[in-house]
């Protein structure tokens, strides 16, 4: 999903589109992910998790290969849109599968590891895409990611354990409506959904356009150099994997707020004209975002809703809608206000997340 992100400036040049238009290559994927996640989650509540996980991986690999071969900008967006549909199965079902098959006490820690794995994937895709693009072009880079995805689908199919605790649930519209009402009557779930939109929106606002800034003066980095900055995702993997341990010792709410504060500090550092401070800021942003995301998504799983995939799906619906809306809005802000505008947008979203986080802590205490 994310291998396109560091290539947005390349796509803008290749297809003669603006930065905001180039961001649609990300936004059409994340935008459809939201509604599709709900559908995939509901279907998995009826037919099971494992088949959907395998199918999502395989289809996303095929469609990413189609992106690499797309002859026009419009066809590329269509394939990215369809890739978003296919990826919905992973996003909707992964956390629900963990919540069902793992000892309840270990769920927050395992969800953190799962989010950490996604951080490693995001890092690998971005770094590899940037490096390969410098030597072989963006089509070879995206095509290579597609082949790796197909290999991953085969490996996952061979090693994934069967579901042992899955219980089929009705997907009658009345039952689904009841599940949604139950989720929004919960004192914490709606707040967690709001956090998902704000956190991912702030994160994408920076990551969608940091490449444009670093490729331009005064930095003038190459695509490989910009891609290498995404190795900072390893910090996200470490923080998401360790977030559950830290929250267990210090408390979930203080840890959650501390991670958001770390991300906000990182955004502030990206305003510096010095490259090492910008890189440090991106690192802090990445660590803080993934730590907060791991705690928030783990908290959704821990609520033990009657429809776990639906509850998780609503979280990721908000998550990817935030990425789509604020990721595209960031392009408008970039065109009008430069990096100061993008950082300001991200900072405002993180501050709103802190305000809701304080309310979340009060709801938990209540």
Q: What CA–CA distance (Å, rounded) separates 26 from 242?
A: 28
Q: What CA–CA distance (Å, rounded) separates 6 from 136?
A: 15
CA 270 centroid distance within chain: 21
CATH of 5-157+186-365, one of 3.90.470.20, 1.25.40.10, 1.20.1250.20, 1.10.287.3510: 1.20.1250.20
Q: How many residues in the chain?
A: 366
Spatial CB neighbours of 60, under 8 Å, sequence gap ≥ 6: 1, 83, 86, 87, 90, 149
Six-digit token pair at 197? 């939109």
pLDDT per residue over 18-76, tens digit each?
A: 888 998 998 898 888 878 877 787 788 778 888 889 999 999 999 999 999 999 999 99
pLDDT (0 to 100) of residue 365:
45
Q: What CA–CA distance (Å, rounded) separates 115 from 123?
A: 12
pLDDT per residue over 213-253, tens digit each?
A: 998 889 998 878 887 887 887 888 788 878 878 888 888 88
Q: What CA–CA distance (Å, rounded) separates 250 from 182?
A: 30
Q: For 223-232, b where at least 16 C-beta lie within 10 A, e where not — what string?
A: bebbbbbbeb
Six-digit token pair at 202? 């702030």
pLDDT (0 to 100) of residue 174:
75
Spatial CB neighbours of 202, under 8 Å, sequence gap ≥ 6: 263, 267, 289, 326, 345, 346, 347, 349, 350, 353
Q: Which segments of the chain have a pLDDT < 50?
A: 365-366
In the chain, what's the furthest Cα-to-Cα distance? 58
CA-closest candidate to residue 180, choices 168, 193, 195, 167: 193
pLDDT (0 to 100) of residue 364:
52
pLDDT (0 to 100) of residue 51:
87
Q: Please state whether the peptide bond connecting residue 56 to the residue before it is cis, i.e. omega within 30 degrees of 0.
A: no
Query: How is the chain split into domains, by residue range?
Result: 5-157+186-365
């Amino acid at each position: 999903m994310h291998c396109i992100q560091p290539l947005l400036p390349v796509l803008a040049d290749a297809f003669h589109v603006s930065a905001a238009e180039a961001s649609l290559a990300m936004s059409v994927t994340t935008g459809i992910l939201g509604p599709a996640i709900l559908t995939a989650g509901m279907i998995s509540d009826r037919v099971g998790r494992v088949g959907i996980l395998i199918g999502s991986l395989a289809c996303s690999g095929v469609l990413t290969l189609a992106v690499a071969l797309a002859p026009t900008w419009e066809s590329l967006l269509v394939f990215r849109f369809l890739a978003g549909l296919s990826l919905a199965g992973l996003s909707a079902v992964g956390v629900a599968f963990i919540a069902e098959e793992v000892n309840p006490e270990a769920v927050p820690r395992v969800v953190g590891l799962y989010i950490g794995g996604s951080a490693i994937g995001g890092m690998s895709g971005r770094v590899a895409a940037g490096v390969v693009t410098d030597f072989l072009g963006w089509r070879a880079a995206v095509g290579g990611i597609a082949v790796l995805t197909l290999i991953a689908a085969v490996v996952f199919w061979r090693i994934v354990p069967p579901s042992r605790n899955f219980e089929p649930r009705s997907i009658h519209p009345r039952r689904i409506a009841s599940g949604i009402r139950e989720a929004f009557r919960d004192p914490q779930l709606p707040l967690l959904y709001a956090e998902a939109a704000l956190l991912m929106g702030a994160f994408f606002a920076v990551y969608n356009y940091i490449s444009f800034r670093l490729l331009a003066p005064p930095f003038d980095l190459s695509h490989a150099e910009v891609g290498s900055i995404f190795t900072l995702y390893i910090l996200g993997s470490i923080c998401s994997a360790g977030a559950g341990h830290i929250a267990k010792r210090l408390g979930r709410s203080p840890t959650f707020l501390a991670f958001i504060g770390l991300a906000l500090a990182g955004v502030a550092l990206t305003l510096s004209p010095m490259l090492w401070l910008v890189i440090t800021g991106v690192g802090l942003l990445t660590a803080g975002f993934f730590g907060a995301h791991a705690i928030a998504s783990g908290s959704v799983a821990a609520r033990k809703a009657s429809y776990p995939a639906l509850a998780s799906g609503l979280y990721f619906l908000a998550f990817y809608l935030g990425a789509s809306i604020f990721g595209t809005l960031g392009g408008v802000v970039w065109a009008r206000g430069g990096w100061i505008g993008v950082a300001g947008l991200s900072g405002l979203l993180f501050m709103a997340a802190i305000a809701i986080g304080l309310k979340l802590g009060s709801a938990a205490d209540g």
